Amino acid sequence: MSEGEVFHEKQRLELCAIHALNNVLQERVFTKETADDICKRLAPQCVVNPHRSVLGTGNYDVNVIMAALQSRELAAVWWDKRRTVQSLCMSKVQGFILNVPSRVSLGIVSLPLRRRHWLAVRQVNGQYYNLDSKLKSPVCIGGEAELRTFLSEQLSQDVAEMLLVVRREVEEDGSWLNSDNPK
């Protein structure tokens, strides 16, 4: 990846959690095999692993994402949607992983089903990007004000959730939240 280029993995199977992790880290770190290993560590006695699809196609849950980030000295902070995104201290957040509803399609046919989808957002070269693996390429969101609007719009969906990707010490001291806002 050359300087100024934005790393962006595209959707394959049900591996959106892996793509979101790699996109937020801006490098290929995790694979299906590493995610499957994490699943086995999380549920070593289970014949059917509760942290991934029974079909072996991915569909990893939040526990896999959190364990993967911990292996990189990072943490995932679950965002309380009752707070306003204005209370985020953006300089302390390395990126965002969102879980949003997504339409299911077979080729060009869209089915009347809704599934959950993981996507990443992060700053690269001073601009924030939507790094959703279902997109053909990264979409520039803009600066901090545009990011706050984007996140607010995403979180306004009833079932959308957001994880803040932060360094472990930032999670521990709570500095991802602006000090003028109560914890």
Q: Which of 19, 39, 51, 132 is catalytic?
A: 132
In the set 16, 19, 51, 61, the catalytic residue is 16
Q: Give catalytic status of residue 117 as yes or no.
A: yes
80 included as an active-site residue = no
Tokens read off for 87: 């209370």
Asked whether 120 and 25 are in contact (CB, 8 A), the reply is: no
User: How big is the CA angle at 37 (ends 33 and 40), to the nearest 5 degrees?
Assistant: 140
Yes or no: say if 159 and 59 are a contact pair by the CB < 8 Å rule. no
Residue from 19, 46, 117, 180 carrying the catalytic annotation: 117
Q: Which tokens is 172 given?
A: 């521990």
Rounded to whole angstroms, what are the CA distances from 7 to 52, 66, 175, 181? 25, 21, 27, 34
Quick check: is 132 catalytic? yes
User: Are the beta carbons of 16 and 58 closer than 8 angstroms?
Assistant: yes
Q: Beta-strand (E) ranges in 20-160?
A: 74-78, 95-106, 109-124, 127-130, 139-142
Query: Where in the sequence numbering do the catalytic residues fall?
Result: 16, 117, 132
